[in-house]
Amino acid sequence: MIAIDPNTGERIGDYAEHSPAAAAALLERAGGAFAAWRETPLAERARRLRAAAGALRARSGEHARLMTREMGKPIGAAEAEVEKCALTCDFFADHAAAFLASEPVTTEAARSYVRFDPLGVVLAVMPWNFPFWQVFRCAAPALAAGNAVALKHASNVPGCALAIEQVFREAGFPQGVFTTLMVGAGLVPGLIRHPAVRAVSLTGSEPAGAAVAALAGAALKKTVLELGGSDPFIVLADADPVAVAAPAALARTINNGQSCIAAKRFIVEEAVAPRFEQALIERMRGLVVGDPADRATQVGPLARADLLAELHGQVTRSLAAGAVLGCGGARLDRAGFFYAPTVLTQVRPGMPAFDEETFGPVAAVARARDADHAVELANLSRYGLGASVWCGDRARGEALAARLEAGAVFVNEAVRSDPRLPFGGVKRSGYGRELAAFGIREFVNVKTVWVR
């Protein structure tokens, strides 16, 4: 595996891959480790998760710099990501006992109840854009529930993959309970079919999710899929369009625009659209683009050259279809994989900027006749991950939230994940939930017990 610094385009590391036989042996070891880990008292599992939180915080700067170097995340955001992982470990350490407590059910039996037992080895197929967070979002609840986790990370963040394994090692997790598999995508089918693997969690693209779901379905193994998103950011006429432009720009450019729950389609009522568009263009033009290791930088590079080319293709095809360029629209003339913060206006269904997921700092603004039309446009997408509504009347915002086809709707706030709340999507954004009580129960056997 080769790591490339997206800030410079330079090769920064070469990592040895596991052979198919070596990967299979590691899965066998994980299966054996699970047999003991599932019998480990939950209080001890929680203690190890708290130790993992401590290990993350102890080397926060090192982990953050690694993310910045391997995938271009601005350093402040990378530090925040490490802390979020630590908080999630603490959260499940604190709440796993309540989430997994047996639930009594009144029947004619002397005693009947439902208990939640671990499944086995969970194969985590994870992406590069949040290289620590998305692993811990899956692993913390799975490990707390008594499962083992085998990580197949994205090939462009190999250093992060090994660093995460080291965190669990430093926290005292038994060997094999968390394992990093240094393999490419070509070995994933074999990993899914391996008898030690009982379930698969994937965060990634829509095609990757469909492929993994088909493989896991053929093997009759549980899956949780968190896939792409084209999140609508709805601005109603009673909102302040100039004030809303500030969180809009941040919501679009979080993680350099490379987030499934970043706002992507800005659907604005006609009455305030001109003012919002101008304010958003000014905000996007004013963002500081540069070296992600520089704390002044607000937008860093895209993670890979192919992602840069794909994003620019979506922009040029949208312009050819009638979108209007407000700002940006080009690769920056510098080393690395930088794209100018971009605003497209007059975007309509049928254009790539509306129909497809744009993974980079490109905001697509579409105008709506009224609130009902805004909801119609928002739902006119094959995705359904997150959505936000910005308005002066919160009750009206909540009423519209009930009509939006999304796994999460935020009113007067940008969409984000939180360990206290379930996270996931509908439609082509996937199925299943991570985080909160719903997430920890995804990879358990919901077992009925009846006692005469």
Domains identified in the chain, total number: 2
For residues 29-35, give the mean pLDDT. Answer: 98
For residue 387, the SS3 value is: strand
Q: Based on the fold, state whether residues 174 and 286 are members of the same structural domain.
A: no
Q: Based on the fold, state whether residues 208 and 236 are members of the same structural domain.
A: no
Strand 10-14 vs strand 2-5: parallel, antiparallel, or unpaired?
A: antiparallel
Summarize pLDDT for 390-441 with one digit per residue, the tens: 999 999 999 999 999 999 999 999 999 999 999 999 999 999 999 999 999 9
Confidence at 184, pLDDT banded by 50, 70, 90: very high
Active site residues: 226, 260
pLDDT of residue 445: 98
Q: Based on the fold, state whether residues 188 and 330 are members of the same structural domain.
A: no
Residue 26 lies in a domain: yes
Summarize pLDDT for 305-324 with one digit per residue, the tens: 999 999 999 999 999 999 99
Q: Based on the fold, state whether residues 21 and 107 are members of the same structural domain.
A: yes
pLDDT of residue 417: 97
Residue 99 lies in a domain: yes
Q: Based on the fold, state whether residues 214 and 336 are members of the same structural domain.
A: no
Confidence at 158, pLDDT banded by 50, 70, 90: very high
User: H helices of 6-59, where?
Assistant: 20-37, 42-58
Residue 193 lies in a domain: yes
Check which CATH number belongs to the domain holding 272 and give it: 3.40.309.10
* Cα 388 to Cα 409: distance, rounded to the nearest angstrom: 5
Per-residue tokens: 340: 């100018």
pLDDT of residue 339: 98
Q: Based on the fold, state whether residues 263 and 287 are members of the same structural domain.
A: yes
DSSP designation for 45? H
Q: Based on the fold, state whether residues 124 and 238 are members of the same structural domain.
A: no
Question: What DSSP line would sit under 52-101, residue for residue?
Answer: HHHHHHHTHHHHHHHHHHHH---HHHHHHHHHHHHHHHHHHHHHHHHHT-
Summarize pLDDT for 351-397 with one digit per residue, the tens: 999 999 999 999 999 999 999 999 999 999 999 999 999 999 999 99
- Angle at CA 386, nearest 5°, toward 422 and 337? 115
Q: Based on the fold, state whether residues 280 and 331 are members of the same structural domain.
A: yes
Residue 321 lies in a domain: yes
Owner of token pair 């497209």 = 344
For residues 55-65, give the mean pLDDT. Answer: 98
Q: Based on the fold, state whether residues 274 and 404 are members of the same structural domain.
A: yes
Q: Based on the fold, state whether residues 364 and 439 are members of the same structural domain.
A: no
Summarize pLDDT for 204-219 with one digit per residue, the tens: 999 999 999 999 999 9
For residue 21, the SS3 value is: helix
Question: What DSSP line would sit under 118-182, residue for residue?
Answer: E-SEEEEE--SSSTTHHHHHHHHHHHHTT-EEEEE--TT-HHHHHHHHHHHHHTTPPTTSEEE--
Residue 424 lies in a domain: no
For residues 84-112, give the mean pLDDT. Answer: 98
Per the structure, the complete domain to which residue 59 belongs is given by 2-227+429-451
The secondary structure element, H or E, covering residue 249 is: helix 241-253
* Cα 146 to Cα 175: distance, rounded to the nearest angstrom: 14
Mean pLDDT rounded to a whole number for the chain: 98
pLDDT of residue 238: 97
Q: Based on the fold, state whether residues 97 and 201 are members of the same structural domain.
A: yes
Percent of the chain with pLDDT over 90: 100
Residue 102 lies in a domain: yes
Check which CATH number belongs to the domain holding 179 and give it: 3.40.605.10
Q: Based on the fold, state whether residues 299 and 184 are members of the same structural domain.
A: no
Confidence at 52, pLDDT banded by 50, 70, 90: very high
